[in-house]
């Protein structure tokens, strides 16, 4: 029986080839999108899932309450005192591990005789921690031991790093790597002298789905780290660093909330005048979704985004199923005779339903195979776009296999059930006499409803995408208040010569035709690297109610970046800190009315280590990414704090200027890797996630509209075939081709307009919510909606008109004769 | 020969649209005995096709009684009708109604599949029938590859493959030229001689002469009956 079903199905499919291609292609595209979204979500939700003790591992967060407003915010950094204090105060904790994630470390491979062999620079991946870290997290070793991290100056390196540095990881054990790292503390960025590390272990490759992208793991206690001393200070409760965190392993008998209570009680005990923060622990299973607090990989994904992705996957699959239903029921007339014959020969309704569902299954399976093919090809592009390394491997990924089976069944039922009912319900008598038309009122209204549904989704996606694109353009083109064009930043070794080195470099560069050079701690705009500092204003005995971003910059910072002074004067050249520049926001935050009012007032920071007067006020510029608003800003000279040279290139001859800069740098710093970053590229990087999202939405919107139109095309072609006699009669009676095209298009245009009326408010609501996350945002303008709606109507009309025009141009004699 | 295969009494059938009600069968009463060959004639719209559909259990009546093989079937639901139909009745249509996607062999095989006949038996019986009707050489062709006469032979083969007690033929020669038409009538006569009851709707006096009895209908009821033998 089933063989007969499949045989009929297969022959019927090959006979109606166009219809089959539309059906399979539509379903395949829908399923492929679904499959890729599933894989992305599977990857994103699998972060740090592989640690055996993941249910008991927690991250310590600092909870700070803003004075006045009372808003609570969380940060992943903890005071340097925290790990040691937790160990002594809470002996019941099974493990406590400090983790410092270092950045921009310079590494040198040294041979046995102590001479440099190779230089490397690691932007990230250098972690300082204790063996306890590995008692919580599962990162297997290929050689050596975790315990070696008890002794300072030992380092575990990953296989990849070992191969990169030493050629063969097996040769790495016992080798020496010199590290020169920077560490931040409060408002300061400090360099520690180069330290020789011994490779005491090799870690297996780190999986992609962990937020600990380890490369080199240095024993805590090396360099500036340690329980007894941190940098040049006693590790107290007042100081912390942005990437200094702490992880704990709770014993089985202590609950998360119970420990949090104990911790907050303890926090009140250790509060100081400067530090009124409290602390909580956070399950590591939630870390990857915590976009506001962030993590060491700087990769997070919000639960909301995951839900949106699920929703899009579902909608695209639904659109594909709707196509199937529409086409199947529309062409049901062609199958009417078969249904009639089968009924006459004794088939009952149920057998016919099974037959048509089996036929659907056949189509879905073919679509599934095609979808797998599409996925294999498209995955490379998706990986590229989202910076992932997803692989389509069914055997290694039972979840994907299960997903495929589930989707096959769901789609078969969703898409096959209704048409099977419609087809099997045909009255055999009328079916055999070809009296059947699908223009029964009920059928058409369902099909209309489905078309409206498709276009609601497609138009909502189009409008949403347009809003995202508009917001991205705004990010890219919004004047930031400083010059970002043709400025290149070159990381710079801190100057311990009191300004001699910077003076030398500056002179070299200027004689090379460079116009402006500034040495500074960081660029006018930074995303995550901002150093906030507490300070006291005008001899106050209390810290000011707000913290300010601090930047250390030389006197050329203002002209290089074309900052505007609105009061006072620029900084004077100096190797140490002797005066401050502030921004307008700083003045306003203090409650001063006029910028001039702050000139000459003293600011004290770093526990009174620095006390100087304000000499000038600059006009506000965007000192943070446009996700956040402006922040109060302090700028001062201090040559030991400069970490980069900012060079303004003239627009002519950029290549030769860059070549000259490279020569100067390599000549001056032969031991270190030369690198450079263009400021505009760095700024674009702040919006990478939005950019990826906008690319992704563009694809989704395109697929949604493509699928909807595919369905429309199929529907229009069946309508044209069905109304061929009507068209013939109308033409005989004098209708022009234009009348006929109008006849076909009118209904669909009405449906799309109805869909637009529903889609527009939905899209507006969601995009309005989305924009609320940005301090700087576009207003959703009406033309966006108009453009979205008109685009949908235009595309749909083009799709329909193929069929409509063909019908309109048919010779009426021919179409009437076939009756 | 004397048992009634079909006995309908006061059979009524209406077709309703929103505004008008058309009476297709108006208290029609007829009987067909086992082994009979009956032709039903009458002008268009007299209700012949409606009668045939009800006899074939494709449609149900709105009133009256229909006793098939001694069982009252008026009021049977679709499932029961389908079951009774597939075991007892074969159909031959004016427009053949072969399934285009299936070959000659597969078309003829279809009733056997619905009657759950095993594959080996099916093959044997289909081949037998195709052989009898001299279309064995066309077994792997598709309907469109055959002439009208050949298609109707296949349709007849399909109607008889299951050895039904009753064959209902709806203008079986309507789409055929006279020589092909005569061949089909010959076939039906042979089947009838072997014991199959046949009810045939036709417009052709010529074809009607092959039958034992002609029922003439007008406006939903039978007006005369001509006994030919």
Q: What is the pLDDT of residues A765-788, one digit of tens each?
A: 989 988 888 888 888 888 889 888
How many percent of chain A have pLDDT more than 70?
95
Nearest CB among B58, B86, B110 relative to A428 is that of B58
| Mean pLDDT of the region A317-330 | 84
**Distance separating alpha carbons of residues A793 and A757, to the nearest angstrom:** 13
Q: What is the pLDDT of residues A252-279, one digit of tens each?
A: 999 999 999 999 999 988 887 777 889 9
Q: How far is B163 from chain A (nearest CA, A)?
A: 13
Q: Residue A757 has what pLDDT?
A: 93
A421 touches chain B (CB under 8 A): no
Nearest CB among B97, B109, B111 relative to A346 is that of B111
Identify the band that residue A17 occupies on the pLDDT scale cut at 50, 70 and 90: confident
Taking 80 as the threshold, does the pLDDT of residue A434 lie above it?
A: no
Residue A527: DSSP 8-state = S
Q: What is the pLDDT of residues B12-22, one digit of tens each?
A: 988 877 778 88
Contact indicator for A66, A73 with CB cutoff of 8 Å? yes
Q: Residue A441 has what pLDDT?
A: 43
Residues of A in contact with B54 (CB under 8 A): none
Q: Residue A187 has what pLDDT?
A: 58
Q: Looking at chain A, which residue has its C-alpha nearest residue B159?
A: A345
**A754 half-sphere exposure, CB direction, 13 A CA radius:** 13
| Mean pLDDT of the region A53-60 | 94
Nearest CB among A12, A337, A348 relative to B79 is that of A348
Of A319-328, A391-400, B207-216, which has the strongest mean pLDDT?
A: B207-216
Nearest to A79 by CA among A266, A293, A231, A275: A275
Taking 70 as the threshold, does the pLDDT of residue A81 lie above it?
A: yes
Taking 80 as the threshold, does the pLDDT of residue A506 lie above it?
A: yes
CB contact under 8 A, B114 and A12: no
User: What phi and psi values does residue A574 have, to the nearest 5 degrees?
Assistant: -165, 150
Q: How far is A325 from chain B (nearest CA, A)?
A: 22
**Distance separating alpha carbons of residues A242 and A77, to the nearest angstrom:** 5
Taking 90 as the threshold, does the pLDDT of residue A759 lie above it?
A: yes
H/E run at residue A45: helix A17-45
Nearest to A44 by CA among A289, A392, A310, A387: A289
Q: Residue A87 has what pLDDT?
A: 93
- More confidently predicted of A709 and A193: A709
Residues of B in contact with A12 (CB under 8 A): 101
Residues of A in contact with B91 (CB under 8 A): 344-345
Nearest to A494 by CA among A666, A642, A636: A642
Q: Looking at chain A, which residue has its C-alpha nearest residue B100?
A: A338
**Distance separating alpha carbons of residues A520 and A507, to the nearest angstrom:** 16
Nearest to A71 by CA among A535, A548, A775, A546: A546
Q: How far is A29 from chain B (nearest CA, A)?
A: 28
**A699-A701-A702 Cα angle (round to 5):** 65
Report how far apart, in Å, the C-alpha atoms of A734 and of each of A731, A747, A771 are. 5, 21, 54
CB contact under 8 A, A1 and B98: no
Report how far apart, in Å, the C-alpha atoms of B171 and of each of A819, B97, B186 are. 20, 13, 14
Taking 50 as the threshold, does the pLDDT of residue B1 lie above it?
A: no
A1 touches chain B (CB under 8 A): yes
**Distance separating alpha carbons of residues B33 and B6, to the nearest angstrom:** 7
H/E run at residue A261: helix A256-270
Lowest mean pLDDT among A188-197, A633-642, B213-222: A188-197
Spacing of C-alpha B214 from chain mean position: 15
Contacts of A691 (CB under 8 A, 6+ apart): A472, A684
User: What phi and psi values does residue B27 have, to the nearest 5 degrees?
Assistant: 45, 55
Identify the band that residue A186 occupies on the pLDDT scale cut at 50, 70 and 90: low
Interface of B with A (CB under 8 A): 53, 56, 58-59, 78-79, 82-83, 85-87, 91, 93, 95, 97-102, 106, 109-111, 113-115, 158
Residues of A in contact with B98 (CB under 8 A): 341
**Distance separating alpha carbons of residues A614 and A635, to the nearest angstrom:** 9
pTM of the model: 0.78
A510 touches chain B (CB under 8 A): no
| Mean pLDDT of the region A702-730 | 81
CB contact under 8 A, A429 and B58: yes
Q: How far is B102 from chain A (nearest CA, A)?
A: 7
Q: Looking at chain A, which residue has its C-alpha nearest residue B161?
A: A345
Q: Which of 126-155 (A) contact B at CB < 8 A?
A: none
Nearest CB among A1, A341, A348 relative to B99 is that of A341
- More confidently predicted of A187 and B111: B111
Residue B136: DSSP 8-state = G
A207 touches chain B (CB under 8 A): no
Taking 70 as the threshold, does the pLDDT of residue A188 lie above it?
A: no
Taking 70 as the threshold, does the pLDDT of residue A408 lie above it?
A: yes
**Distance separating alpha carbons of residues B195 and A343, to the nearest angstrom:** 25
Neighbours of A786 (CB within 10 A): 13
Q: Residue A132 has what pLDDT?
A: 95
Average pLDDT, chain A: 86
Q: What is the pLDDT of residues A462-485, one digit of tens each?
A: 998 899 888 888 888 888 889 888
Taking 80 as the threshold, does the pLDDT of residue A439 lie above it?
A: no
Residues of A in contact with B99 (CB under 8 A): 8, 337-338, 341-342
CB contact under 8 A, A344 and B56: yes
User: What phi and psi values does residue B180 have, to the nearest 5 degrees?
Assistant: -65, -35
**Distance separating alpha carbons of residues A31 and A366, to the nearest angstrom:** 11
SS3 of residue A707 by DSSP:
helix
- More confidently predicted of A406 and A528: A406
Q: How far is A352 from chain B (nearest CA, A)?
A: 11
């Amino acid at each position: 029986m089933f063989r007969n079903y499949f045989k009929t199905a297969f022959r019927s499919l090959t006979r109606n080839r166009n219809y089959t291609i539309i059906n399979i292609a539509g379903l395949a595209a829908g399923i492929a999108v679904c499959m890729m979204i599933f894989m992305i979500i599977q990857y994103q939700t699998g972060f740090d899932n592989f640690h055996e003790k993941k249910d008991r591992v927690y991250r310590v967060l600092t909870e700070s309450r803003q004075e006045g407003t009372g808003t609570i915010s969380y940060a992943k950094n903890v005071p340097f005192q925290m790990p040691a204090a937790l160990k002594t105060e809470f002996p019941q904790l099974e493990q406590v591990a400090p983790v410092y994630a270092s950045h921009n470390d310079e590494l040198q491979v040294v041979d046995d005789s102590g001479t440099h062999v190779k230089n490397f620079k690691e932007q990230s991946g250098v972690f300082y921690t204790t063996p306890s870290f590995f008692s919580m997290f599962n990162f297997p070793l290929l050689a050596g031991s975790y315990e070696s991290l008890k002794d300072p100056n030992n380092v575990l390196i990953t296989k990849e790093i070992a191969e990169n540095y030493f050629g063969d990881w097996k040769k790495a054990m016992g080798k020496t790597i010199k590290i020169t790292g920077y560490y931040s503390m409060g408002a300061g960025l400090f360099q520690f002298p180069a330290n020789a590390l011994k490779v005491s272990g090799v870690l297996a490759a780190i999986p992609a789905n962990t937020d600990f992208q380890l490369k080199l793991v240095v024993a805590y206690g090396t360099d500036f780290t340690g329980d007894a001393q941190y940098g040049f200070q006693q590790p107290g409760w007042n100081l912390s660093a942005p990437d200094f965190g702490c992880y704990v392993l709770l014993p089985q008998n202590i609950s998360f909330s119970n420990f949090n209570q104990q911790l907050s009680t303890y926090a009140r005990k250790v509060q100081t005048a400067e530090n009124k923060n409290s602390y909580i622990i956070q399950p590591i299973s939630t870390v990857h979704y915590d976009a506001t607090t962030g993590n060491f990989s700087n990769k997070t994904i919000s639960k909301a985004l995951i839900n949106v992705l699920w929703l899009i996957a579902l909608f695209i699959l639904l659109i594909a199923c709707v196509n199937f239903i529409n086409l199947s029921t529309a062409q049901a007339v062609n199958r009417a005779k078969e249904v009639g014959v089968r009924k006459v020969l004794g088939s009952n309704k149920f057998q016919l339903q099974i037959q048509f569902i089996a036929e659907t299954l056949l189509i879905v399976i073919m679509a599934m195979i095609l979808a797998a093919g599409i996925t294999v090809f498209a995955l490379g592009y998706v990986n590229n776009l989202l910076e992932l390394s997803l692989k389509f491997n069914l055997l290694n990924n039972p979840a994907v296999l299960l997903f495929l089976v589930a989707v096959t069944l769901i789609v078969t039922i969703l898409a096959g059930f209704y048409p099977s009912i419609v087809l099997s319900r045909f009255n055999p008598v009328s079916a055999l006499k070809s009296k059947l038309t699908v223009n029964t009122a009920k059928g058409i209204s369902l099909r209309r409803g489905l078309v409206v549904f498709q276009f609601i989704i497609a138009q909502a996606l189009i409008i949403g995408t347009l809003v995202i694109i508009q917001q991205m353009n705004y990010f890219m083109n919004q004047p930031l208040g400083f010059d970002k064009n043709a400025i290149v930043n070159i990381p710079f070794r801190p100057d311990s010569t009191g300004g001699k080195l910077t003076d030398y470099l500056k002179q070299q560069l200027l004689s090379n035709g460079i116009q402006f050079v500034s040495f500074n701690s960081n660029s006018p705009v930074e995303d995550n690297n901002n150093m906030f500092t507490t300070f006291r204003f005008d001899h106050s005995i209390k810290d000011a109610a707000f913290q300010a971003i601090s930047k250390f910059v030389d006197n050329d910072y203002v002209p290089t970046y074309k900052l505007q002074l609105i009061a006072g004067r620029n900084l004077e050249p100096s190797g140490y800190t002797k005066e401050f520049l502030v921004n307008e926001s700083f003045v306003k935050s203090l409650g001063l009315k006029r910028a001039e009012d702050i000139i000459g007032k003293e600011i004290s920071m770093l526990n009174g280590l620095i006390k100087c007067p304000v000499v000038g006020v600059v006009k506000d510029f965007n000192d943070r990414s446009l996700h956040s608003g402006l922040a109060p800003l302090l700028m001062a000279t201090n040559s030991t704090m400069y970490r980069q040279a900012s060079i303004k290139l003239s627009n002519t001859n950029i290549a030769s200027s860059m070549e000259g800069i490279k020569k100067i740098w390599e000549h001056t710093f032969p031991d270190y890797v030369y690198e450079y970053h263009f400021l505009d590229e760095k700024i674009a990087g702040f919006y990478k996630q939005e950019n990826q999202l906008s690319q992704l939405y563009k694809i989704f919107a395109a697929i949604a509209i493509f699928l909807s139109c595919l369905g429309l095309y199929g529907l229009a072609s069946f309508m044209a075939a069905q109304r061929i006699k009507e068209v013939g009669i109308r033409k005989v009676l004098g209708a022009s081709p234009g009348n006929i095209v109008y006849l076909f298009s009118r209904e669909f245009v009405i449906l799309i307009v109805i869909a637009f009326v529903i889609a527009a408010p939905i899209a507006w609501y969601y995009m309005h919510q989305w924009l609320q996350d940005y301090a700087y945002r576009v207003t959703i303008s009406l033309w966006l909606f108009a453009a979205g709606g008109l685009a949908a109507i235009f595309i749909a009309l083009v799709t329909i008109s193929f069929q409509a025009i063909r019908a309109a141009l048919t010779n009426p004699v021919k179409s009437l004769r076939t009756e | 020969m004397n048992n009634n295969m079909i006995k309908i009494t006061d059979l009524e059938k209406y077709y309703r649209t929103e505004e008008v009600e058309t009476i297709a069968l108006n208290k029609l009463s007829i009987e067909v005995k086992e082994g009979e060959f009956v032709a039903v004639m009458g002008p268009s719209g007299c209700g012949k096709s409606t009668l045939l559909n009800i006899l074939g259990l494709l449609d149900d009546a709105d009133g009256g009684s229909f006793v098939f093989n001694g069982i009252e079937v008026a009021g049977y639901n679709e499932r029961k009708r389908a079951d009774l139909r597939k075991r007892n009745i074969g159909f031959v249509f004016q427009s053949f109604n072969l399934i285009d996607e299936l070959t000659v062999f597969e078309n003829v095989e279809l009733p056997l599949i619905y009657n759950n006949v095993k594959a080996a038996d099916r093959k044997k019986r289909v081949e037998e029938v195709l052989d009898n009707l001299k279309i064995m050489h066309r077994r792997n062709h598709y309907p469109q590859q055959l002439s009208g006469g050949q298609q109707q032979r296949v349709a007849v083969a399909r109607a008889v493959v299951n050895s039904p007690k009753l064959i209902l033929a709806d203008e079986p020669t309507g789409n055929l030229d006279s020589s092909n038409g005569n061949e089909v009538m010959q076939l039906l006569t042979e089947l009838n001689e072997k014991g199959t009851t046949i009810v045939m709707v036709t417009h052709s006096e010529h074809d009607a002469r092959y039958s034992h009895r002609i029922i003439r209908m007008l406006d939903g009821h039978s007006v005369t009956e001509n006994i030919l033998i």
